Amino acid sequence: MARLTPELLARCLGHRDRTEEDLGQQLRKMTHLNLSDKNLDAIGDISLCRNLRVLYLYDNQISRIQNLGFASHLTHLYLQNNRISCIENLSSLKNLEKLYLGGNSITVVEGLDQLKEIRELHIESQHLPLGKKLLFDPRSLRSLAKSLTVLNISNNNIDELEELAVLENLSHLRAADNQLQHMKDLEVVLNKWTKLRSMDLTGNPICHKPKYRDRVVVQSQTLENVLFSLTEYLDGKEIKEMERLFLMNWKASKAARKKSKGRMTNEHADYLHFCKETNHFVTAL
């Protein structure tokens, strides 16, 4: 396994035959650092990179998130495809906006309760124990409630979304290849996500339900309120205005017929009751 040393940093920067002082100055000015695919097993001391904004550490063998307390300016952190099992030591990253953790071994989304600026969280395809699903710590969800707009939780054995309803500004959800089954559970969050623009649920059992797509289009309040938006997609297929209007009209017509039928049934029951009370003979209809 490789270690994150000044020599490795120098090689990554193409820093040749210069003094250690020159390297230090260059590291202090750096805003982007790419340490992806370096066979690293740990995040070493890179505290000289005090102005770092973007850090690439994906495709390594890292098992812990550590040594990032200095990075208060960091906005993008790429840690996908490592061996991380716990989200930790991120509380000092007050300006973090995008966090990539896909392809690790995380079982609980936690440790984000001090972060108020995260707009994107990518935590897809965790290597979970057999039969287990990805869980969410309520404190972290409350912290993300107002800032998070993009969430990728695909391929994590998730079977319900109700606890994610607190994410009031969510606009893009990727939850493909999970275990979502019940339309009623989905309707609960669709009523809460009033800014949702795109949603990918492909590969879930719910997609095989009768008229699944039609029910989602009708149920989503966002889709009803932005009828002319061209940015709304469901499972990668554009929801066009004519489709939406047709489904809404069909739903209204069906509700009207049901209401009318119910009124007729009630009137008939009242008539039968009247006849019974007045001893009238009633011929079965």
Same domain flag for 3 and 118? yes
The pLDDT of 123-141, averaged and rounded, is 97
At which residue do the structure tokens 């309760």 appear? 113
- Residue 233 CB neighbours (<10 A): 14
Domain termination site, one of 117, 148, 179: 148
Task: Indicate the length of the chain as a whole number.
Answer: 285
| Number of domains observed in the structure of the chain | 2
Same domain flag for 131 and 181? no
Same domain flag for 119 and 227? no
Same domain flag for 179 and 106? no
Residue 283 lies in a domain: no
Dihedral over Cα of 57, 61, 65, 70: its sign: negative
| Three-state SS annotation for 41-110 | CCCCCCCCCCCCCEEECCCCCCCCCCCCCCCCCCCEEECCCCCCCCCCCCCCCCCCCEEECCCCCCCEEC
Same domain flag for 188 and 89? no
Share of the chain above pLDDT 90, in %: 51
- Could you tell me the residue range of the domain that residue 123 belongs to? 1-148
Same domain flag for 20 and 142? yes
Same domain flag for 144 and 174? no
Check if the beta carbon of residue 106 is closer than 8 Å to that of residue 81: no
pTM of the model: 0.78
User: Residue 266: its pLDDT value, please?
Assistant: 64
**Average pLDDT in the chain:** 82
| pLDDT over threshold 90, residue 133 | yes
User: Residue 189: its pLDDT value, please?
Assistant: 87
At which residue do the structure tokens 């124990």 appear? 129
Looking at the chain, list the stretches that DSSP marks H as alpha helix, in order from N- to C-terminal side: 6-12, 20-29, 138-144, 183-192, 212-219, 221-225, 241-277
Same domain flag for 142 and 247? no
Residue 36 lies in a domain: yes
User: Residue 240: its pLDDT value, please?
Assistant: 58
61-70, 148-157, 196-205, 263-272: which has the minimum mean pLDDT? 263-272
Residue 264 lies in a domain: yes
- Distance, in Å, from the CA atom of 5 to the CA atom of 224, rounded to the nearest integer, reads 55
Residue 236 lies in a domain: yes
Same domain flag for 124 and 181? no
Check if the beta carbon of residue 122 is closer than 8 Å to that of residue 155: no
User: Residue 67: its pLDDT value, please?
Assistant: 95
Same domain flag for 236 and 266? yes
User: Residue 105: its pLDDT value, please?
Assistant: 98
- Distance, in Å, from the CA atom of 236 to the CA atom of 9, rounded to the nearest integer, reads 41
Residue 136's beta-bridge partner residues?
109
Same domain flag for 182 and 132? no
| CATH number of the domain to which 246 belongs | 3.80.10.10
Dihedral over Cα of 159, 81, 4, 50: its sign: negative
Check if the beta carbon of residue 134 is closer than 8 Å to that of residue 126: yes
User: Residue 262: its pLDDT value, please?
Assistant: 62
Check if the beta carbon of residue 212 is closer than 8 Å to that of residue 183: yes
Residue 250 lies in a domain: yes
Q: Which band of pLDDT confidence, cut at 50, 70 and 90, is reported for residue 138?
A: very high
If we measure between CA atoms, which residue out of 63, 126, 70, 60 comes closest to residue 93? 70
Chain segment 8-49, per-residue pLDDT in tens: 777 777 655 556 667 778 888 889 999 999 999 999 989 989
Domain termination site, one of 113, 148, 183: 148
The pLDDT of 164-172, averaged and rounded, is 95
The pLDDT of 237-259, averaged and rounded, is 56
SS3 135: strand
60-64, 176-180, 244-248: which has the minimum mean pLDDT? 244-248
